[in-house]
Amino acid sequence: QLLLHHWLTATEVDSRVLNLAARQRMLSERVLKQVMLVSSASSRDAQTRLTQDLRTSLDTWVTSQSALKSRDGTFDLRGQNSPEIQRLYAEISPHFDTVVALTEAYADQPSEVVAERLLAAQEQFLSGMDTIVGLYDREAKQRMRTLQEVATWLLLLLFVLLLTTVLFSGLFALRPVGKDPDHTFERLTKYGERLERLVQECTAALLAETSSQKATIEKLKDANLLLERLSLQDSLTELG
């Protein structure tokens, strides 16, 4: 049960990590779109409001990226990135830092030159982040397959124990067992029933978590598509 609980907790963390990593890509695109909105603001008041929105999005983006890289428990992202993901984060770190610096500079003083450099840096970041999201997804699926294999062996072991108990109970009932055979047989029967309940509980937990993990991955894809549409709608609203 402890091993199963450990693996189920790991899959929950995988879902949160994958969700936040996918959102990082969307936030990056949102930051760039807000930069463009600031440059096309129709009034000084509108530009001020859009700049505040830009800074808020940037702060969220920076905080989330730090949480993904360090896995220090922020946003409940317990665990550690694989060496390959750590390497990829190191590769995109200069592009990320450039986007942050240029966005802050643009928020203080809009400039066409800064916007062009920002776009180039963001493209490099997005390319690397796409690779990271894909790797997170593959690693999560591999852990799920491992969970299923471990759970299968555990269930097989429990079944063998249950079968052994039943056979032992039958053989024991045919031999003299002392002054209280009924009590002994009752204890063995209860033990078998507890093992059977444990098998049922483990099976139900595994099936529920597997279904939840698959549903979460599909929902992430739908959520990312919805975020793109909402971001585009916000941009059109502001420009309108």
Given this model, what pLDDT does residue 180 score? Answer: 53
| pLDDT computed for residue 60 by the predictor | 93
Q: Which residues contact 176 (CB under 8 A, 6 or more apart)?
A: none
- Kindly report the pTM of this predicted structure: 0.64
Q: What is the dihedral of CA 207, 208, 212, 215, to 10 degrees?
A: 60
Residues in the chain where the model's pLDDT stays below 70: 1-10, 166-196, 198-200, 202-240
Residue 68's pLDDT is what? 93
Q: What is the pLDDT of residue 184?
A: 54
What does the pLDDT read at residue 40? Answer: 79
What sections of the chain are H helices per DSSP? Answer: 2-39, 44-70, 83-108, 112-173, 181-239
Distance between CA 7 and CA 161 in Å, rounded?
A: 23
